[in-house]
Amino acid sequence: MFPIRDTIQSKNYPIVNVAIIILNVFVYLVEIAQGQGLNAFLVTYGLVPARYSIPQIAAGFTFSQQIFAFISFMFLHGGFFHLLGNMWSLYIFGDNVEDRLGHFRYLLFYILCGLISGLSHMLFNWYSQYPTIGASGAIAGVMGAYLILYPQSKVLTLIPIFIIPYFIEIPAFIFLGIWFLLQFLNVIGAQGQATGVAWWAHIGGFIFGIIFLKILIQIPELGMTRYLRKKTTKQKSSRFHLLRSEGAKEDDHIYGSLRITPREAMFGTYKLINIPLGLKRRLFRVTIPPNVKDGTLLRLPGLGRRMDNGKKGDVLIRVIIQPS
């Protein structure tokens, strides 16, 4: 079960979220440049509980190193796929949370979630000498906040059935609820074992992400945040869309709607449309002509359901121009 995208379009460009992703990638490049010194690098900048609980180990680190590790650990990763999985989840869920909190509150929120996730891991692994690294605890906080803000959102999910990719939209509260439940199951399964995965960091980050959201959302936005909102308003909608059929199943035609921005309506654009037909999902490129009007009906002939006479119906897409 792999998330592709959510159905909530952010109104502003997530400049902080993108900056965090870029910083994580940069730090990963610094990691792989360490060569044989990588293990020492991870022990120094990762979060090692034994560095704080065992005096003999703590003596080997300066006070600044002990403090800085609470920040640096959340930008380190154990490999390319570890980095890719974390950054993809942050890309999907982080933009909407930043959209709601604003750029500065979101940055504070992300750091607080990362810190509390590290503390949660330390609390349950007090004498562990394994370095904890990764952004997953902070991202778990983002996912917790997303659950509260957009529980009815849908998460377009890739479920491979043997070798056939199958796309399905899962309500966010179900997708994230399953994810959170899996963290507890993994904790139970890892009792007494050194798995190398900080499950308690995920749990702590998720729970406190909800708490921090409730607190920060009460803090008024700064004037600079309102200024940045105006400057970062999106001029384009997502390139990829899943068409939700709005017609009866007995109808040979497939009906749906497509939301675009006023700028896209003026200059034209193209979208990748995933059209459902039974258990199949078919991906097509659809061109939106310039100066298209709100409510315009686009017809894709022969892409609908097969009729009794062997011919196929059409796909009819209504263009909706969303306000700026």
Q: What pTM, to 2 d.p., does this model score?
A: 0.78
| Residue in 247, 277, 268 with CA at minimum distance from that of residue 319 | 268
Q: Angle formed by the axes of helices 136-149 and 80-101, to 10°?
A: 40
Rounded CA-CA distance 102/142 in Å is 13
Q: Which two tokens stand for residue 44?
A: 């120094």
Domains of the chain, start order: 2-231 (1.20.1540.10), 240-321 (2.60.260.20)
Helix (H, G, I), strand (E, B) or coil at 233: strand
pLDDT in tens, the chain (324 residues): 788 888 888 888 899 999 999 999 999 999 999 999 999 999 999 999 999 999 999 999 999 999 999 999 999 998 999 999 999 999 999 999 999 999 999 999 999 999 999 999 999 889 988 899 999 999 999 999 999 999 989 888 888 777 777 778 889 999 999 999 988 888 887 665 555 578 889 999 999 999 999 999 998 887 777 788 777 877 666 676 767 666 556 677 888 888 888 888 888 888 878 776 654 556 778 888 899 999 899 888 887 777 777 778 888 888 988 765
Helix (H, G, I), strand (E, B) or coil at 7: coil
Given a contact cutoff of 8 angstroms between Cβ atoms, the answer to whether 274 and 282 are in contact is yes
Given a contact cutoff of 8 angstroms between Cβ atoms, the answer to whether 27 and 87 are in contact is no
Helix (H, G, I), strand (E, B) or coil at 210: helix
